[in-house]
Structure 1
Amino acid sequence: MSDTPPVAEKLRVAMIGYGFMGAAHSQGWRVAPRFFDLAAQPSMDVVVGRDASAVAAAAEKWGWRESATDWREVIARDDIDVVDIVTPGDTHAEIAIAALDAGKHVLCEKPLANTVAEAEAMVDAAARAAEKGIRSMVGFTYRRVPAATFARDLVAAGRIGDVRQVRASYRQDWLMDAEAPLTWRMQKDRAGSGALGDIGAHAVDLSEYITGLRLESVSGVIDTIVRERPLPGTADRSLSLSKGGTASDERGEVTVDDVALFNGRFSNPSGGFGALGSFEATRFATGRKNALCVEVSGSLGALSFDLERLNELQFYDATLPATEQGFRTILVTEPDHPYLAPWWPAGHMLGYEHGFSHQVVDLIEAIAAGEQPRPSFEDGLHVQRVLDAVEQSSLSGSAWIPTAG
């Protein structure tokens, strides 16, 4: 007899948190069932936040049925099936473990936790819950960009041959202004890490997703370029690059990294040494707004993806005659491309928000099928170990740190 509980026609969702990611996830929950034929219909029942008036306004704006201020009370309710966690990293473990132990399916934003120990505890809770048919997934949303998914499909089909080298970077410039105010993303006790965990985690996950390989060891360095910033306040000068807020005359310490540079060695399914990868995560790449780039070089070809041109994939076929070789642009908008059939006619572009709808689709379909959605909490733990190994390498000056548990 299967231990998977029957899936109701409706999956009642509670979202914990309502900031930037809350808006993106709300868009996903609201839009997915209107374009995709889902095995169960998500119901946006309640959004939770500490500020009663602010979370009530968010509920009205984004279409949640109600708002609440106590996530523990919401998780204990019998009329909630799925808990979506979009809070800062320091609360992920407590909320996710409580939700899983209460029999709720869980979607948790990346990175999975602030520490390896927290991520391990979350994996243990997910394993306990899975024995009862309860599913969990970590939100590495860029896997769901059709061009990135198609890149994965091309590699898996052998179109670029054996993977020989990977170059991955995630470059932003929103902290280039040294007077941008201090926020929770710059505080280690809240965020866990800076550019490394916030955006470097995406570079790690996406490179592994596209290649189908895992990083086994890393060597790198992290640094904090601006070590003190104004505390949020009421100064006259508006700082548009600060992701919200103005600055006061008081200053606080930045306790996370601004930039991370590291190399990695991937696994080799055939044995021996695996491919090398180079990685960069920075919030100081002047002029780069959201440039997540992954380039994979293989024995038969290569491909390159750039999130700032997210409807395109660059593909190089080295098997063609020399006179015909060169990177060509594939416009990933055809109905036969991943996720595209329910959307618009070919050539009509998708945007950043569509990945969150695809995330909802994949989660609901996995729950309905009684299968483990991907990326799993174990996948999230692996990325956490990679991030931790990079930090260890930087702090110790060691050449290579293994990423295995």
Structure 2
Amino acid sequence: MTSTSPADADPTPSGSSSAPLNVAMIGHAFMGAAHSQAWRTAGRFFDLPLHPVMRVLGGRDAARVRAAADRLGWESTETDWRRLAERDDVDLVDICTPGDSHAEIAIAALAAGKHVLCEKPLANSVAEAEEMTRAAEAAAARGVRAMVGFTYRRVPAVALARQLVAEGRLGDIRHVRAQYLQDWIADPEAPMSWRLDRDKAGSGALGDIGAHIIDLTQHITGDTIAEVSGQLETFVKERPQADRHAGLSGSASEGAERVRVTVDDAAMFLARFRGGAAGVFEATRFATGRKNAIRIEVNGSKGSLCFDFEDMNVLQFFDAAEPEETAGFRRILVTEPSHPYVGAWWPPGHGLGYEHAFTHQVVDLVDALSRGTQPTPTFADGLRVQRVLSAVETSSDTRTWQTITA
């Protein structure tokens, strides 16, 4: 089914002469809303070489997807993702669905000659991620590009952290510590969600949020994880069935049927990076009081840095070359025009928020497409993360260290 609201299409911003980039998005819940905001906003704050046009939104329920399109700013709708991916007026497909559909949609869209932006984690298994990566590499030979959406890379403080490491300000990297802490299912009566169903999500806290800190630490350090020893825990084995249209936190009717949770609630693992650094990782949705705490600390021979997303406009940096009388962690407010991405937004000190990283993702993707270069992170980067996720699961099951192929 296709529907169109002709009066609601977003026109090219006044004065823009850039060619259109016709975008289709599949999925319109939490991530769909975040991605929609980015497609609407990027060209209004950044000088883009292509003008994103929010051409079509895909979803299974005709009434719900039409309502979402009206709310989020999409021109038309489709209830069949295959038809959406084949439309002549679509240049790029943005995949914001649960992980069980990523591989099928992405591979079909690439085969149809569409660029692809796919939410993380890339897939629900290494085999799917490998197939997607092969499809992306074949498509790249035809000038069709694919990118996986690890948006936290685009937080300005994280981009600055990567820059400092790349410049050698931390010296040889020795320790990496990473946590992703949430509490949205700490209540045992919180209802079942697709994120707690292995068939749809692939894994629990490990893949949903652990994937982010795996990618972030590899991105910041410029190094990759070589081996892991992990432990997974499921604290609440059954939950009440959610109402059909429940969102992320959801709701359950009184007396609702209880269903089995088939993923982990928490994941912990030790890691060794190929460059020799030791790593400690923790991802949980049971850290009571923590809403979205992404904590990264990197210690090197010449200094350290640390970041916490709950104070996302700040990067802490320690320079070991400073005199001991005045040495200490320096609080850098990452809001200067010279900081990554920040110059397009507000005056210094006027901080950015969660949604801005999605806008920066669109900016980097559009810039790469206009130049005919490969946007990052690539599907190969997503596969690298997927291999770490799989190794942690195997390690937890077997109680052994697991080596990760390069």
Q: TM-score range by the shorter chain?
A: over 0.9
Q: Which residues in structure 2 correspond to 1:2-401 (within 5 Å)?
A: 9-233=19-243, 243-249=249-255, 250-268=257-275, 274-398=276-400, 400-401=401-402
| Amino acid aligned to 2:99 | G
Runs of 4+ aligned structure 1 residues displaced above 4 Å come to: none
Question: 2 CA distance for matches of 1:75 and 1:201?
Answer: 27
Q: Any stretches of 5+ residues in structure 2 without a counterpart?
A: 1-17
Q: In the TM superposition, what is the alpha-carbon distance from 1:194 to its structure 2 partner?
A: 0.2
Check whether the contact 2:243–2:250 (CA below 8 A) recurs between aligned residues: no
Runs of 5+ in structure 1 lacking a partner?
Answer: 1-7, 269-273
Aligned pairs, number: 387
CA displacement, residues 265-323 of structure 1 (integer Å, 9 cap, x when unaligned): 1011xxxxx10000000000011000011000010110001000000001111100001
What is the identity, as a one-letter code, of the residue corresponding to 1:394? S
The answer as to 2:400 corresponding to 1:402 is no
C-alpha distance in structure 2 between counterparts of 1:357 and 1:233, whole Å: 32
- Contact 1:181/1:230 (<8 A) preserved: yes
User: Counterparts of 1:300 and 1:364 in 2: how far apart (Å)?
Assistant: 36
Distance 2:383 2:395 in 1: 18
1:344-382 C-alpha deviation (Å, 9 max, x unpaired): 111101000000000000101111111111000000000
Q: Distance in 1 between matches of 2:287 and 2:308?
A: 15
Is contact 1:194-1:258 (8 Å) kept?
A: yes
CA deviation map 1:17-53 (0-9, x unaligned): 1110000000000000000001101100011000111
SS of residue paired to 1:178: coil
Q: Distance in 1 between matches of 2:121 and 2:221?
A: 20
- 1:169-196 Cα offsets, whole Å, 9 max, x none, are 1000001100000010000000000000
Structure 1 pair 233/82, CA: closer, same or farther in 2 (3 Å)? Answer: closer
Q: Tell me, in whole angstroms, the C-alpha distance in 2 between the residues paired with 1:245 and 1:116.
A: 33
**What residue identity is the alignment partner of 1:16?**
I
Secondary structure of 2:33 counterpart? helix
SS in 2 for 1:185: helix
CA contact (8 A) 2:170 2:300 kept: yes
Residues 44-76 of structure 1: per-residue CA shift (max 9 Å, x gap): 001100011111011000110011101100111
Q: Partner of 2:373: helix, strand, or coil? A: coil
Conserved 8 A contact 1:106-1:137: yes
Encode CA deviations 1:368-399: one digit per residue, 9 max, x unaligned: 1111110000000000000000000000111x
Q: CA deviation at 1:243?
A: 1.2
- SS of the counterpart of 1:158? coil
Q: For 1:108 and 1:309, how far apart are their aligned partners in 2?
A: 27
Q: Do the aligned partners of 2:193 and 2:250 also contact (CA within 8 Å) in 1? A: no
Q: Identity of aligned pairs, percent?
A: 61
Structure 1 SS opposite 2:325: helix
- 2:156, 2:270 → 1: CA distance? 27
Q: How far apart are 1:233 and its partner, in Å?
A: 4.0
Q: State how far apart, in whole Å, the 2-side matches of 1:10 and 1:233 are.
A: 40
One-letter amino acid matched to 2:307: F
Shift of 1:247: 3.9
Q: Secondary structure at the match of 1:38?
A: coil
C-alpha displacement at 1:246, in angstroms?
A: 2.3
